[in-house]
Amino acid sequence: MEHRQPEQRVGFTSELGLLVTADGDTLRGRALAVPEVCVPEAAVIRPSVLMTWGDILMGSLANEHTTPRVCMTVDLSVRVIAPIPAGQECRSVGRLLKVGRTLTFAETTFSVGDADEPAAVALGTFVASPRPEDVSVSAVRGAGSLPGRPAPVVPGPLSEMLGTRVVASGVVEVPRHPRLLNWADTVQGGAVAACAEEAVLALEDGVVPTELEVRFLAAVRTGPMRATARRMGPWVRVDVVDAGAGDRLCGIAAARGD
């Protein structure tokens, strides 16, 4: 079978302002907390952005163990210990914690400036795509950035990048468009997480999440994504479906705010 080479995309993950550098067995990232990646009302970095940055670092490291197969994200979580305010520089370190025969488990820690204590921690589980046509190349070997190289510029607010449409309180839709797709031609996990977060923020009494967890169940192949949030005590549960594919359940998220 002839393998389909991955299509290079400039979109969601490359537009969030993260500059990545390889450092031995880890990947390091740095990004400025510009208003475009923050919750406007709270002026702090959105948890889904931290989750996406972590997915980039952890997924790239996990991909080294699944190449030539594309590395797929099984689940992601982020816990914010101290909200990172707009204007601060966020530094991150991604590392693998366990590489098994099937699953790879990784962690990313985030800190503000030169602080030693973490401001947030993300965890992720990864697996090789079962489809032989989903092939990839090493992202780590190309991550050696040059000193003083500027970080990518964030083109606009995250909700505009997603194309979010608020349907009702706690219900949003995000179209499936090329900007959100990964090498396997499916919606990137961080975009699914951001869609779920948008639903939480769209609740009439919505809170800014300090904890966000997402389980990825199926690819969004038709679109739009529809995320529906509902309160369950101190938590908010969010179901993300592929509305164009008979409302197939693609992800389940849980969020909690202080």
Residue range 13-144+158-256, CATH number: 2.40.160.210
pLDDT score for 45 = 97
* 9, 83, 177, 247 from 220: Cα distances, Å: 17, 30, 11, 10
Nearest-angstrom CA–CA distance, 236 and 231: 4
Q: What was the pLDDT predicted at 205?
A: 84
What residue ranges do the domains of the chain occupy? 13-144+158-256
pLDDT along the chain (258 residues), means of 10: 44 86 93 94 95 95 84 95 96 96 96 92 91 60 48 85 96 95 84 97 90 96 96 96 97 92
Give the separation between CA 60 and CA 141, rounded to whole angstroms: 10
What count of Cα atoms within 13 Å lies in the side-chain half-sphere of residue 85? 1
Q: Which pLDDT score, from 0 to 100, does residue 1 have?
A: 36
pLDDT of residue 197: 97
CA-nearest of 159, 62, 56, 169 to 106 is 62
Place of tokens 């780590």: 140
Instruction: Determine the distance from the C-alpha atom of residue 21 to the mean position of all C-alpha atoms in its chain, rounded to a whole number.
Output: 18
User: What's residue 251's pLDDT?
Assistant: 98
pLDDT at 3 (0 to 100): 40
Interatomic CA distance for residues 68 and 138, integer angstroms:
8
